[in-house]
Amino acid sequence: GNSVTQMEGPVTLSEEAFLTINCTYTATGYPSLFWYVQYPGEGLQLLLKATKADDKGSNKGFEATYRKETTSFHLEKGSVQVSDSAVYFCALSLITGTASKLTFGTGTRLQVTL
Amino acid sequence: DAGVIQSPRHEVTEMGQEVTLRCKPISGHDYLFWYRQTMMQGLELLVYFNNKAVMDDSGMPKDRFSAKMPNASFSTLKIQPSEPRDSAVYFCASSSRGRGGSYNEQFFGPGTRLTVL
pLDDT in tens, B60-111: 998 999 999 999 999 999 999 999 999 999 999 998 876 655 567 889 999 9
pLDDT at A72: 97
Whether residue A36 contacts residue A45, with contact meaning beta carbons closer than 8 Å, is answered with yes
Share of chain B above pLDDT 90, in %: 74
Can you name the residues that pair with A77 across neighbouring β-strands?
A19, A62
**Burial class of residue B39 (count of CB atoms within 10 Å of its CB; 0-12, 13-18, 19+):** exposed
The H or E element spanning position A5 is strand A3-6
CA distance A77 to A64: 9
pLDDT at B98: 65
Please list every residue in chain A whose beta carbon sits closer than 8 Å to the beta carbon of residue B93: 43-44
Q: What is the 3-state secondary structure (H, E, C) of B53-110?
A: EEEECCCCCCCCEEEEEEECCEEEEEECCCCHHHCEEEEEEEECCCHHHCCCCCEECC
A10 preceded by cis ω (within 30°)? yes
Selected for mutation to probe chain B from A6, A100, A103 (highest B CB count within 10 Å) is: A100
Whether residue B68 contacts residue B81, with contact meaning beta carbons closer than 8 Å, is answered with no
Per-residue pLDDT of chain A (114 residues; tens, 9 = 90+): 789 999 888 999 999 999 999 999 999 888 889 999 999 888 899 999 998 899 999 999 999 999 999 999 999 999 999 999 999 999 998 765 555 678 899 999 999 999
Local confidence band at B2 (pLDDT 50, 70, 90 cut-offs): confident
Distances (CA, A) of A17 to A14, A23, A65, A84: 6, 19, 20, 12
pLDDT at B79: 97
pLDDT at A97: 52
φ, ψ of residue B100 in degrees (nearest 5):
65, 20
Average pLDDT score over residue span B29-55: 91
Whether residue A94 contacts residue A4, with contact meaning beta carbons closer than 8 Å, is answered with no
Chain B residue with minimal CA distance to A89?
B43
pLDDT at B40: 84
Query: Which of B56, B91, B95 has its CB closest to that of A43?
Result: B91
Q: How many CB pairs under 8 A join A and B?
A: 53
Please list every residue in chain B whose beta carbon sits closer than 8 Å to the beta carbon of residue A88: none
